[in-house]
Chain A
Amino acid sequence: MNMATQATTPNSVQNDVPNTAQSTLFRKLWDLHHIVTDEGESLLYIDRALAQENTYHAFVALEAQNRKVVRPEQIYAFTDHYVPTTGRALGLAGIPVAEIRNMVVQLQDFARKYGINLYGIDHAQQGIMHIVPPELGIVQPGLALIGNDSHTSTHGAFGCLAYGVGASEFAHVMATQTLWQTRPSTLRIRVDGRLGFGVSAKDLILAIIAAIGTDGATDHAIEYAGAAIEALSMEARMTVCNMSIEAGGRAGMVAPDDTTFAYLEGREHAPSGAAWERALDFWRSLPSDAGALFDREVQLDAARIAPTVTWGVSPAQAVAIDAAVPDPAQAANDKQRGEWRTALDYMGLTPGMALSEIKVDRVFIGSCTNSRIEDLRAAAQVARLGKAQVPTWVVPGSQSVRRQAEAEGLDRIFIDAGFEWRDPGCSLCTAINGDQLEPGERCISTSNRNFRNRQGPGGRTHLASPAMAAAAAIKGRLTDVRTLIG
């Protein structure tokens, strides 16, 4: 069958609602990258693509089909999932397990072979694929960007369309610089008011997921809006957008504004001079128009959100730190009762116990959700108040974050408090480089997934903010950080 017979003219928006005067940020981004529509699927132009070591599956698929990488200058490869977080002065030789080392080697080899931008293990800007591109200005408003990682939604914080994709779709982008997509519905999550003292972007996104559920945004692109979102720094917006996928949304975004532009200006890959002015004019046209309609709307009051911690095995199983572990007897129905029982059993918790009674064995501060400089500052502010009662790791998101933290003396604060100051990578979030929990170990973690076995077989995860993780570190149990820094 000749599929081209189905083609429409470039830029047409067949089968779509007309793009009227009032458009959403998402719709503007979509239309901007739309090439053709074929039986309800749209072919989108992809400006940038982010790879990591596991992307080798995509390279293998590409080679099996004898395809080439058509726009290597628009592909960026990061060594983050498999790199060790100690002994990095040794480079590749510092990875003792051959299988793990090979993952880094393979990605570096593929990147060099195809002329892809490589941030390899020894690169001065090495770091997590969702930390480094914003730092370097690779991520900008208005782009369509994909990454071979579900947390690619992070980059929507800049007002761009950012999708996580699997190996096949990544291979497709490398071979064509395009991606087939069905246009999702739009969901606006408005957060009004302002976050209270000691409450961070992490608490906000955990509260959102608890409110709408882990499939609350499935088949939707989320736009986060409202006064509480506008007040967030870029780092905080990235934390929120990062966990869109934990609410089922493949993409999450925030309208670009002066906060966005101030963050970007002067960064290595950001436009400059006349191009900056031109880009700025364009970026200012992107926010959703007043009166633009969304398919769904959800509203939250920021003032009602407390420091939030997960107690179960789903990111939606989250409650305020001053709450108790839920009792299955109080579940809404049998199905929920069963889920709560399973979760409590895995987590080794008793219904009704205060969260503050839960003792932790480990603390992890890091990951693409919370390893930016602001996260480390928030953790250090608490770390200076005591000593680690349990093994506590701080893993910066990138070499650049590491250098900045060291320039500010944060590393000293951590080390003096008995925290381990490590080298950049995904580490104990994805638990694939050898950093992992022992069976039964309980960890408060600033990462994004508390699924069973996520941080190592049998490991138990409580998701929380960097300040809350540091508070647990110096108290040895889940602790309301507001009682420490008040």
Chain B
Amino acid sequence: MHPFTTLSGVAAPIDEANVDTNQLCPTRFNKVPRGPKYAEILFYDQRIDTDGKATDFLLNGPPWDRAQILVADSNFGCGSSRETAVYALYEFGIRCVIAPSFGDIFDANCAKNGLLTVALPIDTCGALRAMLHTAPGMTFAVDLEAQTVRDGLGGVHRFDISPIRKRCLLNGFDDISRTREYAEQIAGFEAAHRQTHPWMFGR
């Protein structure tokens, strides 16, 4: 996983609430092996019409076709557990999504792929999206170490993140390596668990 430290990039507003993972990656594309093709898959059904032509969806043209940050509304990434939704964002170039709240599973999937999710108050997110509509192409700067987002007008917004998620993102840590540090504790736990609850291990 690539580390996430700081990011300065074009931010795009996604105004709709409850953007589900099926919009980020329509179900029929879950078959696609992970790779660059996911850049085209992101928001496919909004970006491409039924005749196969590009729509005026905001990620289709400048300046937002090179967005690295999305500012969204509540419950972004709700729905299906498909990690392909994160592959699509990542391959498109998105490294950070700012929203008032996220779907739980999507949020976890982002962290495992080096994509930073930033939860900011709903009013802040609304104001940031309005700012981006007023000045398309505006860049935001994200500093994970300092836990801040600096908007294009110089406003600084501090965000919370769990210490361990921060450390893993900053260092690009692989979760499995981290867990293997606990191999002894896991083995001890499992042996005790097997003894006290043997039926849980099958007949």
Q: Are B176 and A218 in contact (CB under 8 A)?
A: no
Contact with A along B14-29 (1 / 0, CB 8 A): 0011101011001110
Chain A nearest CB, measured from B107 CB (Å): 9
- Bound complex: CA A314 to CA B16 (Å): 12
Q: Are A36 and B182 in contact (CB under 8 A)?
A: yes
Contact with B along A227-252 (1 / 0, CB 8 A): 00000000000000000010011100
Q: Are B75 and A214 in contact (CB under 8 A)?
A: yes
Whether, in the assembled complex, B134 has its beta carbon less than 8 Å from a beta carbon of chain A, the answer is no
Q: Are A168 and B75 in contact (CB under 8 A)?
A: no
Q: Are B22 and A4 in contact (CB under 8 A)?
A: no
Whether, in the assembled complex, A21 has its beta carbon less than 8 Å from a beta carbon of chain B, the answer is no
Contact with A along B31-46 (1 / 0, CB 8 A): 1011000000000010
Q: Are A167 and B83 in contact (CB under 8 A)?
A: yes
Q: Are A432 and B23 in contact (CB under 8 A)?
A: no
Q: List chain A positions with a Cβ less than 8 A from chain B.
A: 1-4, 7, 9-11, 33, 35-36, 38-41, 43, 45, 47, 54, 57, 60, 65, 67, 73-74, 99-100, 102-103, 140, 142-143, 148-150, 164-169, 171-172, 175-178, 180, 182, 214-215, 218-219, 245, 248-250, 269, 271-272, 275-276, 278-279, 282, 314, 335, 339, 342, 430-432, 439, 449, 451-454, 457-458
Whether, in the assembled complex, B108 has its beta carbon less than 8 Å from a beta carbon of chain A, the answer is yes
Residues of B within 8 A of A176 (CB): 176, 179-180, 186
Residues of B within 8 A of A36 (CB): 182, 185
Q: Are A250 and B30 in contact (CB under 8 A)?
A: no
- Bound complex: CA A448 to CA B26 (Å): 16
Known interface pairs A35-B185, A99-B31. Does A215 touch B176 (Cβ–Cβ under 8 Å)? no
Whether, in the assembled complex, B197 has its beta carbon less than 8 Å from a beta carbon of chain A, the answer is yes
Chain A nearest CB, measured from B45 CB (Å): 5
Chain B nearest CB, measured from A131 CB (Å): 18
Q: Are B45 and A43 in contact (CB under 8 A)?
A: no
Number of contact residues on B: which range applies?
35 or more
Q: Are B30 and A168 in contact (CB under 8 A)?
A: no
Whether, in the assembled complex, B167 has its beta carbon less than 8 Å from a beta carbon of chain A, the answer is yes
Known interface pairs A38-B164, A67-B176, A182-B162. Does A457 touch B200 (Cβ–Cβ under 8 Å)? no
Q: A165-B81, A449-B20 are in contact. List 15 more A-B contacts (CB 8 A).
A: A38-B178, A41-B164, A45-B193, A57-B83, A103-B31, A149-B81, A166-B86, A168-B109, A168-B175, A169-B112, A178-B186, A215-B78, A250-B105, A339-B16, A452-B23
Q: Are A177 and B50 in contact (CB under 8 A)?
A: no
- Bound complex: CA A11 to CA B182 (Å): 12
Q: Are A165 and B105 in contact (CB under 8 A)?
A: yes
Q: Are A41 and B104 in contact (CB under 8 A)?
A: no
Q: Are B179 and A342 in contact (CB under 8 A)?
A: no
Residues of A within 8 A of B178 (CB): 3, 38, 180
Residues of A within 8 A of B57 (CB): none
Whether, in the assembled complex, B174 has its beta carbon less than 8 Å from a beta carbon of chain A, the answer is yes
Q: Are B199 and A150 in contact (CB under 8 A)?
A: no
Residues of A within 8 A of B189 (CB): 10-11, 35, 45
Q: Are B79 and A449 in contact (CB under 8 A)?
A: yes
Query: Quick one: closest A residue to B177, CB to CB?
Result: A3
Q: Are B182 and A4 in contact (CB under 8 A)?
A: yes
Chain B nearest CB, measured from A397 CB (Å): 18
Chain B nearest CB, measured from A301 CB (Å): 27
Q: Are A269 and B202 in contact (CB under 8 A)?
A: yes
Q: Are A45 and B190 in contact (CB under 8 A)?
A: yes
Residues of A within 8 A of B81 (CB): 148-150, 164-166
Chain A nearest CB, measured from B29 CB (Å): 10
10 closest cross-chain pairs (CB), A and B: A168-B112, A271-B199, A166-B109, A166-B83, A39-B164, A4-B181, A215-B75, A167-B83, A250-B104, A150-B81
